[in-house]
Amino acid sequence: MDRNTETKSMILKAFKKGYTPTAEELLQKLREAEPNFSRATLYRNLASFCENGKLKKVSVVGKTDRYELNTGCNYHLVCEVCGKIEDLEMAGAIKTPARLMDYEVHSHELMFYGVCPKCQKKRK
Amino acid sequence: MDRNTETKSMILKAFKKGYTPTAEELLQKLREAEPNFSRATLYRNLASFCENGKLKKVSVVGKTDRYELNTGCNYHLVCEVCGKIEDLEMAGAIKTPARLMDYEVHSHELMFYGVCPKCQKKRK
DNA sequence: ATAAATGCAAAGCCTTTGCTAATCT
DNA sequence: AGATTAGCAAAGGCTTTGCATTTAT
């Protein structure tokens, strides 16, 4: 399992730091080079890259999911206008309470992912 | 605009503290009382309740969006097993580094929403 | 009266799946 | 050779939209 293919490296090569496309945006980009690039293959590979930790899927309420290189960073800046997502290095990022990395910040959301007490019990 | 209808209050009444259904789960519940409850009406009203702040849409990567009463709380606990989402009152919630409110916490995600520098400039 | 809300069915967007052909090891 | 991956088209889930009808103010 997990063989090296031209298709897979094309996908990974497309990701550079700070590039957080939706699957369809990425497909469009890949089809510039390879007009028949398969949508199914792209989605399947994106999913598997997320499983093996090479990529990370980021979800913003009301928007299509985006993918990024998995840097291990769990802090993000989301532009509500253009949809872009950036990693946020917390150290030194805070400028004023409403300003982070020159973003004008309107709100934030902190999510903890885990297992609730009920499901912990059921699991045993 | 924004008239009081039986339909709207049925929707709001369905939400109790801690109930965070997907739209389809909620539809199913509403149809127990009103078997022909309209899906389109439900989605339209959910969207408008989110706009006026009565409800809040919560998004978890890879899962269908959920809705909750908007308590103004931006901290959430997400169960990866059953999908339930709970508000998290930070004060006093931390038990051990990996335990919050009896959740077994695996990861977390902090998102800041705002406007990026480029879009700030364009806006003017 | 009239602007807004409802309900239905159809359309849309994004994503997944079934299946065959091609490809990697 | 044998299992994995790619590609296409079709199906699926969730959400939105168009339009005619009903309802609140």
Q: Tell me whether domains A1-70 and A72-124 share a fold.
A: no
User: What was the pLDDT predicted at A93?
Assistant: 55
Taking residues B77-82, what's their average pLDDT?
A: 82
Query: What digits encode the pLDDT tens for the residues A12-66?
Result: 999 998 899 999 999 999 999 999 999 999 999 999 999 999 999 998 888 999 9
CATH number for the domain whose boundaries are A1-70: 1.10.10.10
The whole-number Å distance from A37's CA to D8's C1' is: 11
B92 vs A17, residue with greater confidence: A17
Q: Is the CB of A33 under 7 A from strand C?
A: no
Domain B72-124 has CATH 3.30.1490.190: yes
A2 CA: nearest nucleotide by C1': D4
Residues of A in contact with B78 (CB under 8 A): 111-114
* Domain range summary for chain A, segments of one domain joined by +: 1-70, 72-124
Whether the Cβ atoms of residue B104 and residue A120 lie closer than 8 Å to each other? yes
Distance CA A48, CA A4 (A): 13
